Structure 1
Amino acid sequence: MRTRLDHLVCWVSDPRASLDFYEQVIGLPGVRAEEFRDGKAPFPSVRISPETILDLMAFEAMRGVDEGTGVQGSAGHPINHFCLAVGKEDYDALQVRLKQHGVEITGGGANSFGAQGIAPETMFFPDPDGNVIEVRYYE
């Protein structure tokens, strides 16, 4: 079986501000962004890879999540962090954009294990809602 990650859902307080952050600071392209801005989509997403998107869903949408999943108490479960792998050039450019936008890099590491082996460098930082993002590159 070939398994792929289809999407993640991040709970956010302001989907427009989060969309701006993920598009402008991190550099991920919006998915249904214009439809969301025009009120035609309930939430925006950003594309992580050709097969994976990140949904930016408002906290108030949590009310119907238990019914949708059929699992009581499933709404709003926190995750520790999610990790994006980029090329070294993009990693360096992201560090510059984070600084330009006043986003503090809150942690980092070296020789960290991940899905593709050992990454020489990693950095951690929060999005506007405190969701922790790790970004790394592989050689």
Structure 2
Amino acid sequence: MQATIDHIVIWVSDQLRSLDFYERVVGFAGVRAEEFRDGKAPFPSVRVSDHAIIDLMNRAKAEGIDELVHAPGSSGHRVNHICVAVSHADFTLLRARLDAEGVDTSAGITDSFGARGHAPETFYFADPDGNILEARHYD
């Protein structure tokens, strides 16, 4: 079986603050952002690729999500990190935007293995809620 990741849910304390960070600083397009701002969607998302989004779920809703998925205690936790692969040009621009915002991008790896093989360089950064993202590019 071949599959793609459709979406990832991350827990945030302020959905509008996180939406602003992912749109303005990271450069991901908002999905249902206006609907969320207008109170017509329960959460906003950001587009990572044509096939994948990140849902920005309010941590205060974790108990309700536990009930929805019939898994008490499973919601509200961070994942270790989410890795996004971008072009070398976008990698450079993303790092510059993060640095301009005072976001630490000093942690990184060279020759890191991922879904498409070895990436020459990566860096890690935290969103406003401490969720960790890794950015990489492939040759």
Q: Same fold (TM over 0.5)?
A: yes
Query: Normalization by structure 2: what TM-score?
Result: 0.97
Distance 1:59 1:76 in 2: 6
Question: Match of 1:67?
Answer: 67
Distance of aligned partners of 1:106 and 1:65 in 2 relative to their CA distance in 1, 3 Å threshold: farther
Count the aligned residue pairs: 139
2:134 aligned residue: 134
Alignment of 1:104-123 (within 5 A): 104-123=104-123
SS in 1 for 2:77: coil
Q: Deviation digits for residues 63-96 of structure 1, max 9, x if unmatched?
A: 2111111112111132110100000000000111
What is the DSSP-based 3-state SS (H/G/I as helix, E as strand, rest coil) of the residue aligned with 2:28?
A: coil
Q: CA RMSD in A?
A: 0.8
Counterpart-to-counterpart distance in 2, 1:73 and 1:50: 32
Structure 2: 5+ residue runs without aligned partners? none
Q: Tell me the CA shift for residue 115 of structure 1.
A: 0.5
Percent identical residues: 55
Query: Which portions of structure 1, spanning 4 or more consecutive aligned residues, are displaced by more than 2 angstroms?
Result: none
TM-score by length of 1: 0.97
